[in-house]
Amino acid sequence: MQPNAARVATARLAASGIALLGLVAPALAGDRALIDFVGFSEDFRYFAFEEFGIQDGSGFAYSSVYVVDLATDSWVVGTPVRIQAESEETSLSAVRRSVAEQSAGHVEEFGIHVPVEIAAMIGDGVPDTDARTLAFGAPAYLPGTVSGAYTLDLATFETTATSPCAEWFSMQPLGYELSIADSGGTRLVHRDQNLPRSRGCPSDYRLHSVVMPFGGTTLSNAVAIISVYPGGFEGPDRRFLAVPLGL
């Protein structure tokens, strides 16, 4: 479930360099969204997260809040709540405050007040990994101990998309397949068919993390977070998918 990346060809301005902590970003690079976890509902059915960053090309800040019905693997009506700045003068923090205010009604409506616990994560700074496999269990009290032992496996394949990927990016879009294994065997969690327009034209996927509601110790409450890289103005952008593992 991703924001629409289909209008990248006309909606962005000329490229600009971005410097951070003395390091200059490459001249050609898509924007790399970050993720912040809002929480789970008290019955663990609903999960909300924020996706935010600085748009490549224009340099405009953006933020989107998604509320996912984990029982149906779909966005709830009225979400995602999206805000994009109209100039570089509007800060990312201001945009994030605005989207939090506009999504507060959804957070209250679905009772999303349970904190998120990160069961496992492949950080962006971890080198030399294709992030296709991730082992995890529910966090336990003692250091290094978990409840349950699971392994996620991610695979990609060429597929079709609603967006005209060949015309825009001269490429066949990729879909993904996610499976989970434990001592009892392997189960298919998800396999893409024709990609929705909201996914754009992905060129890659990576496992990012597995999250659970605080106090939720079963697989039925777990959500896999997958980084997806649709084509953008200056290169592949990074966005996120939330995949319920209990279905």
77 CB-near residues (< 8 Å, 6+ apart): none
Residue 25 has what pLDDT? Answer: 38
pLDDT tens, 139-176?
988 898 999 999 999 999 999 999 999 999 999 999 99
Measured in whole angstroms, how far is the alpha carbon of residue 205 from the centre of its chain? 10
Residue 234 has what pLDDT? Answer: 77
pLDDT surpassing 90 at residue 185: yes
pTM: 0.86
pLDDT tens, 23-74?
333 444 569 999 999 999 999 999 999 999 999 888 999 999 999 999 999 9
CA-nearest of 2, 9, 6 to 234 is 9
Region 173-187: mean pLDDT is 96
Residue 29 has what pLDDT? Answer: 54
DSSP assignment of the chain equals -----TTHHHH-------EETTEEPPSS---B-EEEEEEEETTS-EEEEEEEEE-TTT--EEEEEEEEETTTTEEPTT--EEEE-SSTTS-HHHHHHHHHHHHHHHHHHTTEEEPEEEEEE--TT--S----EEEEEEE-SSTT-EEEEEEEEEEEEE--BSS-HHHHHSSPPEEEEEEEEETTEEEEEEE--SBPGGG--EEEEEEEEEEEETT--SGGG-EEEEEEEE--SSS--BEEEEEES--
Lowest-confidence segment of 10-19, 92-101, 207-216 by average pLDDT:
10-19
Number of residues assigned to the chain: 247
Cis amide bond preceding 80, omega within 30: yes
